Amino acid sequence: MLSILPIPAFRDNYIWLAHDGQDAFVVDPGDAAPVQAHLAELGLRLSAILITHHHPDHVGGISTLLAKWACPVYGPASEDIPGRSHALREGDTLELSAPAARMRILELPGHTLGHIAYVGEGHAFVGDTLFAGGCGRLFEGTPAQMLDSLDKLSELPAATRVYCAHEYTLANLRFALAVEGDNPALAARLQHATRLREQGLPTVPSTIGEEITTNPFLRSRVQSVAAAASRHAQGNLSTPEAVFAEVRRWKDGF
């Protein structure tokens, strides 16, 4: 059984640490120091590093960690990942023995072109593709690519826990309310997330089910979201791609 905990890093990053009491893997260690501190405190060995995409706040700690732990580094095949030992593509399976874990690789272009997620056993490590209440900015991909990527994630079982890489939830939900002010699940979610943040607690992981009901970026086919996006665009947006693109643009300037 894996224990999974967030290691806060920088301003609002989370580095996910998964362990069985002895061995651990981390996802997207942008900074080595807080990872080393957690490993030492919990008495864990680092046995693998998993990377979702090439941005510095996700890969910056790899070389320092490798100097101490000679462990494999898994990462997307089509991006430049420092120290990568295993290049992963859509449909690949990653099997770790310690801690025991089996994950499937999804390619999720949008935030970056090579971005991948690690999915298995009820968990999804999604990097900067899907956030609690939001999605990553389109630095490299197109809206159509990102919509496809988010569609892939929304097909996962509703109970799948979503481990994203940033604490952006409050800002995301405030924007979501501007899009869908009459979604009762959304108001409740913002209230709950606000309480968590007031106590200094993370709002993540969320679940795919929660995201489907409250995250506007997974709701481009919902009439109220399409209507709000059309009002914002001052025109009739007739495809999910156009709705998604408008909501993403709207959020960029929100």
Residue 102 backbone phi and psi in degrees, to 5: -130, 120
Looking at the Cβ atoms of 128 and 180, the one nearer to Zn ion is 128
What is the nearest approach in angstroms of Zn ion to the Cβ of residue 184? 32
**Closest C-alpha to 27, from 138, 101, 111, 91:** 101
19, 38, 55, 123: residue in contact with Zn ion (rule CB under 5 A): 55
Name the 3-class secondary structure at 162. strand
What is the nearest approach in angstroms of Fe ion to the Cβ of residue 164? 9
What is the nearest approach in angstroms of Fe ion to the Cβ of residue 128? 4
Beta strands 86-88; 73-76: pairing state:
parallel
| Site for Zn ion contains 115 (CB under 5 A) | no
23, 128, 211, 246: residue in contact with Zn ion (rule CB under 5 A): 128
Query: Hey, which bits of the chain come out as E strands?
Result: 3-9, 13-19, 23-27, 45-50, 73-76, 86-88, 93-97, 100-107, 116-120, 123-127, 130-131, 134-135, 161-164, 206-207
Q: What's the chain's Rg over C-alpha atoms? A: 18
| Site for Fe ion contains 128 (CB under 5 A) | yes
Question: Is 86 marked active-site?
Answer: no
From 166, 192, 232, 252, the catalytic residue: 166
The residues in 52-111 that bind Fe ion, with binding defined as CB under 5 A, are: 57
Question: Is 38 marked active-site?
Answer: no
From 19, 38, 54, 55, the catalytic residue: 55
For residue 118, give Cα distances in angstroms to 75, 148, 196, 227: 10, 17, 26, 34
Instruction: List the single partner that 84 binds among Fe ion, Zn ion, none, CB under 5 to 8 Å by kind.
Output: none
H or E stretch covering 68: helix 62-68
Binding flags for Fe ion, 190-229, as an x/- string (CB under 5 A): ----------------------------------------
Stretch that binds Fe ion, among 50-58, 79-87, 221-229, 240-248 (CB under 5 A): 50-58
Looking at the Cβ atoms of 14 and 96, the one nearer to Fe ion is 14
For residue 154, give Cα distances in angstroms to 124, 207, 213: 11, 10, 11
Token pair of 41, please?
């405190």
Question: Is 115 marked active-site?
Answer: no
Give me the residues that bind Zn ion (CB under 5 A), please: 55, 128
Give me the residues that bind Fe ion (CB under 5 A), please: 57, 128
